[in-house]
Chains A and B, each alone.
Chain A
Amino acid sequence: MRISRQKIILGTIIAWLIWAVMTVVTAEKFLPDDPIKVDPDHQPIEMPTEREISQIADFILNTFVTRPKPDEDPIPAAKNVNTLGEVPNSSWFTNRIGHRPMTLEELRKGPNQLQESEISAPFTITSAKSEGITPGFFVRDAGGIRYLFKFDPKDYPQLATSAEVISTKFFYAFGYHVPENYLLKVKESDFLIGSDARIDLGGGETRPMVSSDLRAILDRVPRNPNGTIQVLASRLISGRPVGGFKYYGTRSDDANDIIPHEHRRELRGLRVFSSWLNHDDSRSVNTLDVYVGDSPQGFIRHYLIDFGSTLGSGSVKPQTKRAGNEYMLEWSPIFKAAATFGIWDRKWRSIEYPYFPQIGRFEAKHFHPQHWKPEYPNPAFERMLPADALWATRIVMQFTDEMIREIVEVGELEHRAAETYLVETLIRRRDKIIQYYLSKTNPLIDFRLDSGRLQFSNAGIKEGLARRASYRYQWHAFDNEQESSSPLSGVEVTERPVVKVPEYDGPFLMVQIETLNESYSAWQEPIRVFLRRSGSWEIVGIERSGEFEQ
């Protein structure tokens, strides 16, 4: 069929017109429903096939390929935040303690839907592995619910199981999707061997499991004085696992996954949480994408899993001294040590840890939030900007000493001194995180309007970094379509964290605020707060340094 020239021209014009309309519309900085509270990433998709992730390939790629490149300077701001800089609820994240107070009961409960007492014997083993230092079972309890049972290493009772259940509560409170993890005390007689249970002998060899296998395996796990065994029962996540997620790029088979993972604020900010809890194993292999619902109406939810290597636990033994201090492969210290016949040594090797077999290696004295490292570079962590860190730090700030103590108690550590040490260490690490990140950016938070005044809090003062500060600000008229602003008045300075909203008839206002304190130059980085007239003024946007061009 021959298409006339006129039709081609007309088609071109229509396409251009549509594009132009879209361009103009989307060029608006603030859309009517901003700031969104929920990212609609639950759109139905067909169930993707399971994507396997190679740990070795992940290590190589993240060590050599996915690190920030020179053309990424400056690193772009996080792309999945709303106009207030918050992370909307999504298949990745649900705002919890960062948005509302959580009760101690909620913190203790975490993601769990059951009480421990509801998980009852007999536990029918459906498969087991005997290889490795710590064995594991897949079991079905009396109610037919399926769990993965994990144990502690023989010489370190409670090390991995308590760490995992404690960290699960924290990560849940932060807002991540995590499995239901229960701490149980079971007896050997609680186990039954399923008729189809096979034991993995390693090297691909399996055979039907027999009672001597069970005894042999349980001989390699620690016992409580009363003969019971502490078990971490991880309830299998509802839905169909479709592999882990990577910390860069998007899933090519998930239409909802449109934000490159390295630019997701909750993944960048995960660095702060991971450093607090020493989750050095925060890598793709410890994530899980789960297809929720029936295809094609379901969607993918993203989980963090396996917190056995957190706090002082290295899962099968105490955490190594390197963990959290140096990547598995880091050239600079290698060359220094090689060239100096080992005389130059890593500082972290000389760190002394108190001896608590239940806790392993976890300390606060030498911990530095900025210097903390996971096992190998994480592309999202590497792109964490001060605004991302502040977002996470604000969540960390919500944890009171009492809350930390409450969460640590769920680890049921038998040794009282160990529990106390763990609580104190977490508190000190929390304080270091707060002190460090609040010193690295303008720490103004909690913006609110009240009686024609814009009020805010200085988190730095609230957390004791400084006793006072002053605030330099300037009001602007803001053109939402053009994304341009023009000053309404001169620059003013106030000693109090409150500024009067000027009389203005236009639809948008913007105020740029700098915090002045001679000890913290980073506090002077400007914050822009946008107000929209909607009957009265409402706060529609907050931008921090690094999120806009200055």
Chain B
Amino acid sequence: MKTRHLIFAILSILASLAVPAIAQHDDATTREKLLRDQRLAKKVSLTAPRHSAIEKALIRIEKVGVTQFLDISFGGIYPQFGTISNGSGLGLGAAYGRRDIGHPSVALRTSAMITYRNYQRAQLQFGKIQPQGNRAERNIFYSDQLKSNVALEDRPDAHHFNLFGEIRYHRLPQMSFFGLGPDSLPNQRGDFLLQDISYELVGSYRWNNRLGVGLRGGLLDVKIDRGTKAAYSDVQDLFDPSQLPGLEASKFGHVTASSWVDYRDHPTNPHMGGVLFMSASHFSDRDLASFSFSRVQFDSRHYLPLGSVQRTLAVRLLASSDQANSGHQVPFFMQETLGGSDLLRGYPAFRFRDENLIYFSSEYRWEPAPAVQLAIFYDTGKVFPSWSNFELEGLKKSIGWALRFKTPDKMFLRIEIARSEEGIQFHFKIGPAF
């Protein structure tokens, strides 16, 4: 054994012997001192709290709100993405809004969007406008569903009275057309380009959250041209002009009166109650005087909880009827349609088109979690030329399954698969079901 090892061993033994004695006489060692010492030890190695990049982003979202976080605003202009209509594909756009123009409730709102299929939309509103959803919804979830949205929103700060002017422009270059009537063939698919611009004045009044009326009127300038989808022939090559009434029509004056009774428990996430919506419109052909018509529409939606708010039976009945003026016809591009993600989901968008429509949909919905809704659904309906020869035979049917995501306030995403005699349709849709 080397000397230093020997010294080490001896000192170790001495130390071992000395420890109990030292310990016994260390009156200064107390719990308080121990705790102080532990804190002093930590004090020399303090570090500032660190956040991961994800946590930093989350903090910012919570601090400024999703709205502001997602607001990639350039001088008040902010981006949007969403769809323009059934079959438009996803698009990008920009919007600008300004509140408090001379009065807290007067606002200006304008937006434009283009999709990868070159669908285009532009809109300008000015006046006393119903408050919109938050900016995140406008940025991310914009979807022009051509809905009568004067009534069907649920915001505590919603105005009782709205009055605004609106200019809208659409360019929809790949509108599907399978022919008119309930017996159109799936393989006879063409397309056309629909371009329109409207100038409207919109007024609405709601007495309370349950009852309201609205009036919308203005001018509509329409242009039909050749569709751009390479896979399909243009409708003018595929159909006889007699099957395409209104092909040359271009200018309409129109007015729509509507009213609604809304007794849903939560309009944007209903589990019980219902809503009745009725409207009457008149479109006057100011160009050719051959395509004037009136339309009456009735939309009824009811929600029945099945022993629990977790389970809901939702039903919808939609009926629409056009009545052309004497000697006039209803333009084909303005006729009601079935098919697509909202009506008769087992068929492609705009699959059936005619002057009259009846549609019934029922869904059994259940919510395994507050943010998730599952549903199985059954849709049936048909289009037909006139009520005089309406019969229930020949109703088109589809069944399907849905997975939907929602907040406590509203549905924001739905993924649906539906089957019909013509095959299977998948729908990935931003926005609510009925």
A contact set with B: CB distance below 8 Å: 5-6, 9, 12-13, 16-17, 20-21, 24-26, 28, 31-34, 36, 39-41, 43, 45, 48-49, 51-57, 82, 133, 154, 201-204, 207, 212, 216, 220, 243, 251-258, 322, 328-329, 333-338, 341-343, 345-346, 349-350, 481
Contacts and interface: CB of A to CB of B under 8 A. Distances in A.
Contact of A36 (B27, B32, B63, B71): B32
Contacts of B8: 9, 12-13
Given A26-B34, A36-B31, A252-B48, A203 B19 contact: no
5 contacts: A43-B36, A341-B374, A342-B311, A345-B310, A481-B20
Given A20-B16, A349-B308, A255 B40 contact: yes
Contacts of A255: 39-40, 42-43, 46
B310 A253 contact: no
Interface stretch (B143-151, B213-221, B325-333, B360-368): B360-368
B59 A54 contact: yes
A416 B61 CA distance: 43
A448 B200 CA distance: 86
Given A31-B31, A350-B308, 11 more contacts: A6-B4, A9-B8, A20-B19, A24-B22, A43-B36, A254-B46, A256-B39, A336-B368, A338-B372, A342-B368, A346-B310
Interface in B304-328: 307-311
Contact of A43 (B4, B39, B46): B39
A343 B32 CA distance: 59
A40 B32 contact: yes
A342 B370 CA distance: 12
B7 interface: yes
Given A45-B43, A51-B49, A220 B30 contact: no
Q: Which one of A16, A57, A481 has the highest number of Cβ atoms from chain B below 10 Å of its Cβ? A: A57
B308 A54 contact: no
B289 interface: no
Given A207-B100, A252-B46, A342-B367, A54 B64 contact: no
Contacts of A335: 368
Contacts, number: 169
A26 B55 CA distance: 40
B9 to A, nearest CB: 10
B368 A16 contact: no
Given A13-B12, A40-B36, A342-B311, A57 B29 contact: no
Contacts of B309: 349
A34 to B, nearest CB: 5
B186 interface: no
A541 B270 CA distance: 59
B366 A341 contact: yes
A185 B79 CA distance: 45
B418 to A, nearest CB: 18
A31 B134 contact: no
B310 A56 contact: no
A83 B317 CA distance: 72
A202 B23 contact: no
A24 B20 contact: yes
Contacts of B68: 203-204
Given A24-B23, A251-B49, A338-B374, A329 B369 contact: yes
Contacts of A53: 59
Contacts of B288: none
B391 interface: no
A20 B15 contact: yes
B370 A328 contact: yes
A9 B63 contact: no
A40 B36 CA distance: 7
A9 B32 contact: no
A33 B48 contact: no
B75 interface: no
A409 B236 CA distance: 79
Nearest to A285: B62
Contacts of A336: 368
B130 to A, nearest CB: 16
A203 B71 contact: yes
A204 B71 contact: yes
Contacts of B156: 133, 154, 220
Contacts of A342: 308, 310-311, 366-368, 374
